[in-house]
Amino acid sequence: MRIDLSRIGAINIDASRRIAIVGPAVRASALDSAARKAGMVAEIVTPADLDFTFADWAEESLRMLSTSNSGVDGILRNVKVIAPAQSYQTGYDSFPANGGGYDLTKLFISSGMTLGIPYEFTVTLKPIPDSTVIRTYSFAKLDDAVATARRISKSVFSSHVKMQSGGFDDLLVGPGSKKAIGEYLIITKVCGTKPVADVSMKAIDDMVSKASGKVVGDRPDEPRFIDPSSISNGCWPMGICVCDTGALADVVKRLSDLADKANRAFQFSIPDVTPATSVLLPLLQGPPSDSILNSIGTMLADARITLRGNQFWNPLLGDSRAVARLEVIRGIKRLIDPKMILNPHVLEAFQ
C-alpha cells in the first residue's frame, strides 16, 4: 500500500514561539512565503534550490535540510509520526530536545520513513534580517574553490556557503552539454544589520581575491525555488552523498573522470559546505550504464561516503561495531514496527 501524503499540507506559523508547524506536503517555497508574511524566515537551505516537500526530505532522511552552524538539529524541533498503531512525538515543539527523555528526532528523520510516517514537522523561524547579501564568486581551479569555500565556512562571516560547477543549473533544468566544467562557483550568504553584513562581505571578498577568485555578482535576496518537475529528463542525479570536505576535490575529479570515460557531461553542486563534511549532489547526463553505476558505487563505498538508500552499507558489515549498531537499530525497528510493514524495502540490508 502506498500512502499519499500530498494532502497534508497545512502551515501554521506561530510567531510568538517563532516556530512553524507544517504538514509533509508543504514545499519549501510555501513555508518561506508564509513565514515572510509573518516577518520571519526559516533557516532552510534547499539543495540546488529545488522546491521539495517535507515528505520528500523525510524520504531522503532530511539530509538536504541544513543551516550554517547546527545542521538539521538547529531547525527541526519535533516530528509527529504515525508508526503502526501508535503516534509519537520525537521531540518538543518549542525547545531543543533536551527537556527530558530520549531525543528521537534524528533517529526518526534519518530512518527514511522506516520507523514512522511523519505527519507534522516543527521548524524554527528567525526574524527577517535587515540586510542579506548573496554573492557569487568564480574560480578557474576546483582545488582553489573547495579550499576557499572551506575557509569561508570556518570563518563564521557567512551564514551559508554553497558551491557548484558552472554548468550545473544548465544540466539540471536545461539541455546540458558535454563541455568540460569551465568554472567553479561559490555562493555565499551573509545577513544581519547592514553594517555587519557589509563588514562580513568585505572580509569574504578579501579571502576570495587572495585565492585568485573573482566576484561574479550579487543576487537579490529573493528566494529561488526550482520546481522538481522541471528537472531535465536528460540528467541523472547520482545520489546525495555526505562527503569529507577535505576529500571533495578528489571525489569530484574521480566522478568527472568516470563521466569522461563514458562520454557523458558531469556537473555537481555542494549545497552546504562545512569544514568537516559536505553534501555533494553529482549530476550526470543520463541515463547511466551499469558499468558507471558499479564504478560509482565502489568508489563511494571505498571512500566511506554515505549515499541514499542502504546499498552501500554492505561494505560496513565487516565492521563489528557497525554490526552491533545495526542490531540496536533492528531492535528499535522491531519495537515500533514488529510486522515490518513500514517501508520494508529500506531494510534490505538488514535481512
Q: Which of residues 8-47 bind other proteins (CB under 8 A)?
A: 16-19
Q: Does residue 48 contact residue 237 with C-beta atoms inside 8 Å?
A: no
Under the criterion CB under 8 A, does residue 274 sit at the interface with other proteins?
yes
Q: Does residue 324 contact residue 348 with C-beta atoms inside 8 Å?
A: no
Distance CA 234, CA 167 (A): 14
Q: Which of 9, 88, 226, 301 binds other proteins (CB under 8 A)?
A: 88
Smallest gap from residue 151 Cβ to other proteins (A): 10
Q: Which of 287, 331, 338, 344 binds other proteins (CB under 8 A)?
A: 331
Q: Which of 112, 118, 176, 288 binds other proteins (CB under 8 A)?
A: 112
Tell me whether residue 37 or residue 325 sits nearer to other proteins (CB atom).
Answer: 325
Stretch touching other proteins by CB under 8 A, among 46-54, 160-168, 273-281, 282-290: 273-281
For residue 303, what are the contacts with CB-CB under 8 A and spacing of at least 6?
Answer: 243, 244, 247, 251
Q: Which of 29, 30, 144, 192 binds other proteins (CB under 8 A)?
A: 192
Under the criterion CB under 8 A, does residue 78 sit at the interface with other proteins?
no
Smallest gap from residue 283 Cβ to other proteins (A): 19
Smallest gap from residue 152 Cβ to other proteins (A): 12
Distance CA 235, CA 237 (A): 7
Stretch touching other proteins by CB under 8 A, among 70-78, 136-144, 176-184, 229-237: 70-78
Q: Which of 29, 136, 310, 343 binds other proteins (CB under 8 A)?
A: 310
Under the criterion CB under 8 A, does residue 232 sit at the interface with other proteins?
no
Q: Which of 89, 136, 232, 343 binds other proteins (CB under 8 A)?
A: 89
Q: In the numeric block, which cell numbers belong to residue 148?
A: 576557499
Under the criterion CB under 8 A, does residue 95 sit at the interface with other proteins?
yes
Concatenated DSSP letters of 150-182:
HHHHHHTS-SEEEEEETTHHHHHHS----PPP-
Under the criterion CB under 8 A, does residue 107 sit at the interface with other proteins?
yes
Distance CA 65, CA 271 (A): 10
Under the criterion CB under 8 A, does residue 249 sit at the interface with other proteins?
no
- Is the link from the previous residue into 118 a cis peptide, with omega within 30 of 0? no
Smallest gap from residue 109 Cβ to other proteins (A): 7
Q: Is 109 helix (H, G, I), strand (E, B) or coil?
A: helix
Under the criterion CB under 8 A, does residue 343 sit at the interface with other proteins?
no
Smallest gap from residue 333 Cβ to other proteins (A): 9
What are the C-alpha distances in Å from 112 to residues 61, 344, 347? 5, 11, 10
List the alpha helices (DSSP H) in 240-319.
248-261, 290-302
Smallest gap from residue 60 Cβ to other proteins (A): 10
Q: Which helix (H) or strand (E) holds 334?
A: helix 320-336
Under the criterion CB under 8 A, does residue 344 sit at the interface with other proteins?
no
Q: Which of 6, 33, 177, 193 binds other proteins (CB under 8 A)?
A: 193
The single-letter DSSP state of residue 250 is: H
Question: In sequence order, what E strands does the chain have?
Answer: 11-14, 19-22, 40-42, 76-83, 86-89, 117-127, 131-139, 160-165, 184-192, 214-219, 235-237, 241-244, 266-272, 277-285
Q: Which of residues 135-164 bind other proteins (CB under 8 A)?
A: 150, 154-157
Under the criterion CB under 8 A, does residue 269 sit at the interface with other proteins?
no
Q: Does residue 113 contact residue 64 with C-beta atoms inside 8 Å?
A: no
Q: Does residue 243 contact residue 277 with C-beta atoms inside 8 Å?
A: yes
CA angle (283 as vertex; 280, 288 as ends), nearest 5: 125
Tell me, by CB under 8 A, how many residues bind other proteins. 84
Under the criterion CB under 8 A, does residue 195 sit at the interface with other proteins?
yes
Q: Which of 203, 226, 262, 299 binds other proteins (CB under 8 A)?
A: 203
Tell me whether residue 253 or residue 334 sits nearer to other proteins (CB atom).
Answer: 334
How far out from the chain centre does Cα 247 lie? Answer: 18
Tell me whether residue 88 or residue 225 sits nearer to other proteins (CB atom).
Answer: 88
Question: Measuring CA to CA, which residue among 242, 235, 243 is closest to residue 264?
Answer: 235
